[in-house]
Amino acid sequence: MNMPGAGNGDSVAREDIAAAVTAGRLEYADGATQVFERNGATTYTEDGRVTRGEWYVDDRGRFCSFWPPSYRACYLLHWLVADDVIVGLTFVDPSGRSRFEGRYR
């Protein structure tokens, strides 16, 4: 993904969230992968098990996901940049208790 001027750890602006999450398949440290579609659907795959959910940007400008039947989570998004190239995203729980990285594959 190309976002001129984005630095490692910089916040992803509200208007860039859709482009950031749909730019490619994300792979997490545990080997799980996730694909976000422009229509708001998302597919998370872990150890061959596929889970489908939805994603959206809430009224506060946070990235949020919904996993039926009732799990909902919102995160602050930050660019993951290496050698001046955006290589993924860091998802940060607004409380600061958890964070995880997804790298574009």
47-91 residue pLDDT tens: 999 999 999 999 999 999 999 999 999 999 999 999 989 999 999
Cross-strand bridge partners of residue 57? 63
The confidence score (pLDDT) of residue 24 equals 95
Judge whether 17 and 31 are in contact, CB under 8 Å: no
pLDDT at residue 3 above 70? no
C-alpha distances out from residue 23 to 30, 48, 105, Å: 20, 22, 10
pLDDT at residue 25 above 80? yes
What CATH code would you report for 14-104?
2.40.128.640
What are the extents of the domains in the chain? 14-104
Q: Which amino acid is present at 45?
A: T
